[in-house]
Chain A
Amino acid sequence: DSGVTQTPKHLITATGQRVTLRCSPRSGDLSVYWYQQSLDQGLQFLIQYYNGEERAKGNILERFSAQQFPDLHSELNLSSLELGDSALYFCASSPTPDGTARGGYTFGSGTRLTVV
């Protein structure tokens, strides 16, 4: 157990639907990162929050949004889902905004999203 908790572990939904993925960071970590991993794309950075504020943004689609709450957990919302959104979605956390302290990022076990 890495200390980063992601729920649900698996999600199957239909095209056009909306889902919410949840992440609780490791105790003491203020920074949360979201990554998408498809078979042919590797880990793609989506967005980062630090202590409730957005700090960095990757190639996140407009259909996707995220936020970090006062208790530091984060949610990634995916709407108008398409087949191509099927992927593993990882959340990672770190104590600092740059992920360098205490061994970089700590990743959760991921949410496998299947859009049918």
Chain B
Amino acid sequence: GQNIDQPTEMTATEGAIVQINCTYQTSGFNGLFWYQQHAGEAPTFLSYNVLDGLEEKGRFSSFLSRSKGYSYLLLKELQMKDSASYLCAVRGSGTYKYIFGTGTRLKVLA
């Protein structure tokens, strides 16, 4: 079966750096997404990884290790507006569907 694990909650301080981890077990691998979701709103796309390594996009970076079934999302220079849930989603082989983890609720404190 497929399984995606993320920490349930994390807390960090404004201006700091936080790393949100995602581990997955899937039948094969065909891509990993990170989404941000504010409460009651639609998820919005943050990053996509299909090859090993780091993808950087402004204050957000995402890393993938396919051999370890592991990804992380790195958020730098945290702002209050970064308080949200961060969802990891993975696609296995032979399927078009992405399976989402339950998400990590990040609280940014002043």
Contacting B at CB under 8 A, from A48-62, are 48, 50, 55-58
Q: Is the CB of A98 within 8 A of B31?
A: yes
Tally of contacts, chain A with chain B, CB under 8 A: 64
**Given A2-B42, A90-B42, A104-B45, CB of A98 within 8 Å of CB of B30:** yes
Chain A proximity mask over B41-62: 1 for CB below 8 Å, otherwise 0: 1111100101000000000000
Q: Which residue of A lies closest to B85 (CB)?
A: A42
- For B89, the chain A residues whose CB sits under 8 A away are 43
Stretch with Cβ within 8 A of B (4 or more), from A11-19, A79-87, A105-113: A105-113
Q: How many residues on chain B are close to A (CB under 8 Å)?
A: 24
- For A35, the chain B residues whose CB sits under 8 A away are 100
Chain B proximity mask over A93-116: 1 for CB below 8 Å, otherwise 0: 000011110011111111000000
Q: How many residues on chain A are close to B (CB under 8 Å)?
A: 29
**A64: Cβ under 8 A from any B Cβ:** no
Stretch with Cβ within 8 A of A (4 or more), from B10-18, B19-27, B69-77, B90-98: B90-98
14 A–B contacts, CB within 8 A, in A order: A42-B101, A43-B43, A43-B103, A45-B98, A45-B99, A48-B97, A50-B96, A56-B96, A98-B91, A104-B35, A104-B45, A105-B98, A107-B42, A107-B43
Pick the 4 closest A-B CB pairs, nearest first.
A42-B102, A107-B42, A43-B100, A56-B97
**Given A43-B87, A104-B48, CB of A97 within 8 Å of CB of B96:** yes
**B33: Cβ under 8 A from any A Cβ:** yes
